Chains A and B, each alone.
Chain A
């Protein structure tokens, strides 16, 4: 079993790269974009006051409704990578909440707008619960079903919604002199708040976890990200503001019916705004929403709407997917970046020099004290794939404070054992105890919180995240307050930088993980799991596919971490590396542990020579011994 993950790149291969963008905030403020954005904000903010053109006021109001929808959708689609084709349902749910409350309870519609947000958020969270076990396509289907289901309920539940007759809201009571101002500025404020939330999520632990889910959901779980909780919260967060905007929108158009409010074209307009502007960007959804609403008005006025709108939206959706999959803002950024860095060599291609390494002495590999308690204990573990017994009753223990090796021929079940211990697979039988607790049956993130960190045979960094973001993504524990913690600056970022310093990758903090060479990815992945502050570090082939200098360096790091109290379990084929570093050594063959002991005992054990090392095995010179 190999773990599908990022593309393996042979060590030393140049892959794109580019100089890291400057992280100084003062620099960002000076950029011309900031001026453009500030001017645009001022223009939209001042528009109703300086112009009394109701046509454009109406267009801006609708643009802001869709912008709020798209900024919300960005949280689940842009950050967490889940496509929703039914996001427009929350506009309708918000509008209906306000309409029903005003009709049945009374009061001003404004009073009910926050309630609309709560209702939308709660229903979205419920959808998140259903979606907990659904990924990719199943999730898309769920969102379509959700939209049509609420439309059906709004149509048939006469008692609550007045069915197809719809709900008429009271006419605004303010002086006509103020035109649509209250609607306009309410939506302006909502848009501002949702943008602020989007900006903050992109920087905090919650956002890092969501992006990690988008990049590699199973891997995210192994670094402590409680994926179901994240998804449910993300769905709720994506719907709250658009639900409130829907409430304002319902009041604004003053008539709410199932066909208009749950029209799938509202969802199309939201998703098109996000795609066109650029997923996972802050301003992309806003830019897209204003552009698409302008297109919408144009198609209504010039071509009579209806079919023309379908042709334009449908055609544009297909064209964007085919020719502008990144959206406007990321594509523009990429062009500017490639223009700015033309002719420069990528940082990723630089030779690793010893200067990167902090000075450290390598203590001799110490055998664990005989009295050491087992940190990890595995009893009778079994895993079958169809009829194949990949792991067939493996039992062993890893003494606390040791560097334990797990060796054996290819296909003997080593990586499967790792997956069973880490929780990415569930065993059919057997028990796993970690630090005195039984952990089989616990989800991967719980195991990570208990202090279990693992790397993958083929590195699985989150490719589109920077090195720093990769390292701050892990969570040592989980409570709601933690999600709010700043991730890319402050305490977490400092800790991540220290760890990157330790593995010698400090220089690369702002490089995208996919631009790193394979060996560099291994180092970053090590820093990533060190962020968990694990008691046990499980490394799957740390020396595989990388050059000898780096192998030696990784060996030194393992020794140093071990000297600081970390226990290791290492799967590795490089025998000089294993025998010079590890004690005890466990040998597995055909899914069972066939031997264990000191390196010396194991390499002379006839069973091991027969099953794995071969009769003619001679170890010439253990590395670092």
Chain B
């Protein structure tokens, strides 16, 4: 029972971090109809920068979020305007291939700068844990999960309470209509992409404490995040949160009861099962591209 409870709580905490990371990905998809394959590479990039800051000046990884979020926002904005904006009207396949290319390129750059060895950020509390009864909760996991929830909550506030948030939602629902009522959809798309990348920045800083990483880790991360948004329903923010919590718990349960070597397979299993049984995911409205008769 303790074992189960422990896996459940840790799963939910890690799920909070996944939720933050997947929100950016699903937001970009919802507004732009772009699957950002480079999302995993963005978060690994943020993790490496966090590592460098921690190594150089001893900056706490969770405080590094304050620097990384605006920096990654700017990076995302520039990248969008340089690469994705020109192919905004191209068939959706183009953006998948483009962001895939960006992911590979970033992996190469990170390999040149930081080398292809495993890194991890170990702040002072990395080996401590909270012990509640028989439960054993590592402090890094608890702090990371809580910070992720705070960042995610502020993202929600921006999306629901600000003009930008309304413009983003309008562009997602009906780009032509948004254009007609004075929303510059291209600029909103750039800002949305930047917000998505910024959330990968915050999430990457947190993830750097939780998992060891190397440049090639981004494949595993993008697979995990894609599994989440497919399960939750592509383009749905609440869906991303639900999907992330499910994945976090499912991974921890797999580690506990089946074996850690199978944990990476959980998101792939999600993708296969969801596409077979309920292609629109838990909360997704059926994509317009979906088969009408299915």
Chain B interface: which of A191-199, A305-313, A515-523? A305-313
Q: Is the CB of B97 within 8 A of A317?
A: yes
- State the Cβ distance, A380 to closest chain B Cβ, in Å: 20
What is the 8 Å Cβ interface bit string for chain A, positions 129-144, against chain B (1 contact, 0 not)? 0111111111011101
Complex alpha-carbon distance, A241 and B272, angstroms: 25
Chain A residues positioned under 8 Å from B289 (CB to CB) = 135-137
Chain B residues positioned under 8 Å from A83 (CB to CB) = 93, 96-97
Chain A interface: which of B7-15, B104-112, B164-172, B183-191? B104-112
Complex alpha-carbon distance, A254 and B113, angstroms: 34
Chain B residues positioned under 8 Å from A306 (CB to CB) = 111, 116
Q: Is the CB of A152 within 8 A of B265?
A: yes
Complex alpha-carbon distance, A146 and B267, angstroms: 11
Q: Is the CB of A325 within 8 A of B94?
A: yes
Chain B residues positioned under 8 Å from A146 (CB to CB) = 268
- State the Cβ distance, B142 to closest chain A Cβ, in Å: 29
| Best-surrounded residue of A135, A218, A425 (most CB of chain B within 10 A) | A135
Q: A145-B267, A145-B268 are in contact. Are A315 and B101 (CB under 8 A)?
A: yes
- State the Cβ distance, B175 to closest chain A Cβ, in Å: 14
Complex alpha-carbon distance, A309 and B216, angstroms: 13
Complex alpha-carbon distance, A152 and B291, angstroms: 31
Q: Which residue of A135, A217, A318, A425 is within 8 Å of B102 (Cβ)?
A: A318
Q: Which residue of A130, A145, A217, A315 is within 8 Å of B223 (Cβ)?
A: A145
Query: At the interface, yes or no: B134 with Cβ under 8 Å from chain A?
Result: no
Query: At the interface, yes or no: A189 with Cβ under 8 Å from chain B?
Result: no
Chain B residues positioned under 8 Å from A426 (CB to CB) = 292-293
Complex alpha-carbon distance, A423 and B106, angstroms: 46
Q: A130-B272, A264-B219, A444-B293 are in contact. Are A135 and B87 (CB under 8 A)?
A: no
- State the Cβ distance, A80 to closest chain B Cβ, in Å: 12
Chain A interface: which of B200-208, B226-234, B243-251? B226-234
Nearest A residue to B41, CB-CB: A314
Q: Is the CB of B271 within 8 A of A135?
A: no
Q: Which residue of A140, A142, A307 is within 8 Å of B96 (Cβ)?
A: A140
Chain A residues positioned under 8 Å from B230 (CB to CB) = 138, 141
- Size bracket, chain A contacts: 35 or more
Q: Is the CB of B275 within 8 A of A134?
A: yes
| Best-surrounded residue of B37, B104, B106, B289 (most CB of chain A within 10 A) | B104
Nearest B residue to A141, CB-CB: B226
Query: At the interface, yes or no: B256 with Cβ under 8 Å from chain A?
Result: no
A444-482 contacts to B (CB < 8 Å): 444
Query: At the interface, yes or no: B103 with Cβ under 8 Å from chain A?
Result: yes
Chain A residues positioned under 8 Å from B92 (CB to CB) = 136-137
| Best-surrounded residue of A83, A264, A314 (most CB of chain B within 10 A) | A314
| Best-surrounded residue of A132, A136, A310 (most CB of chain B within 10 A) | A310
Query: At the interface, yes or no: B100 with Cβ under 8 Å from chain A?
Result: yes
Q: Is the CB of A321 within 8 A of B293?
A: no
Q: Is the CB of A130 within 8 A of B275?
A: yes
- State the Cβ distance, A449 to closest chain B Cβ, in Å: 15
Q: Which residue of B104, B223, B267 is within 8 Å of A268 (Cβ)?
A: B104
What is the 8 Å Cβ interface bit string for chain A, positions 299-340, against chain B (1 contact, 0 not)? 000000011111101111111011001000000000000000
Chain A residues positioned under 8 Å from B116 (CB to CB) = 306-307
A-B contact pairs, 27 of them (CB 8 A): A130-B276, A131-B275, A132-B291, A133-B291, A138-B230, A140-B35, A141-B226, A144-B223, A148-B264, A156-B262, A217-B291, A221-B293, A268-B104, A310-B108, A310-B111, A311-B104, A314-B105, A315-B105, A317-B97, A317-B101, A317-B104, A321-B90, A322-B87, A322-B98, A423-B293, A443-B293, A444-B293
Known: A264-B219, A321-B90. 16 other contacts (CB 8 A): A137-B33, A138-B287, A145-B226, A148-B219, A149-B272, A155-B261, A268-B104, A306-B111, A314-B103, A314-B105, A317-B100, A318-B102, A322-B86, A322-B87, A426-B292, A444-B293
A residues contacting B by CB (< 8 A) are 81, 83, 85, 130-138, 140-142, 144-146, 148-149, 152, 155-156, 217-218, 221, 227, 264, 268, 271, 275, 306-311, 313-319, 321-322, 325, 423-426, 443-444
